Amino acid sequence: MPVIESPFVDHIGAKLVSAADGVSEILLPLQPHLLNTWDVAHGGVTMTLADVALAMAARSVAGDGVGVVTVEMKVNFMQPGRGELRATGRVLHRSTTMAYCEGEIRDSEGHFVAKALGTFKYMRRLAVGRDVKQQRMRSDPSAKPGPSDG
């Protein structure tokens, strides 16, 4: 089973329940800092949870060393999320480079909170930010960082 590997997702407290064969499940107990002014799940939290669930479904059918990036995502909000949110994701179609996924989020009482559709691009995992310089150095000792490599 793949792991989430995201400091932001760790920060909000989302937990991977399962991810295999193109299907995933993520659980998020709502904490006060994740709520909006109406004391329900903030829309950005709901969208993040949907993004993670769909991405993990896509990653579950990828090879080792392959990750995904979100190309496009749409979320329809049905009703406010309360308590604990449970997101499920499912791969509807996959090509060699892309995955088209759907998912939904329900709250602890089973209420339908949101529906999501997304497209994800498969990418070989590469270093980013400061690690790019080290990665280039390992693969080519004469390589020099570019202007955007910081």
Q: What's 130's DSSP letter?
A: T
Across 24-30, average pLDDT: 97
Q: Where are the alpha helices (DSSP H) in 1-147?
A: 7-12, 43-59, 131-139
Which tens digits make up the pLDDT trace of 118-138? 999 999 876 566 555 555 444
pLDDT at 129: 60
Backbone angles phi, psi at 101, to 5 degrees: -130, 160
Question: The whole model's pTM is what?
Answer: 0.83
Other beta carbons less than 10 A from residue 130's beta carbon: 10
What digits encode the pLDDT tens for the residues 55-79?
A: 999 999 998 889 999 999 999 999 9
Which residue type does 124 have?
Answer: R
Domains and CATH numbers, the chain: 7-143 (3.10.129.10)
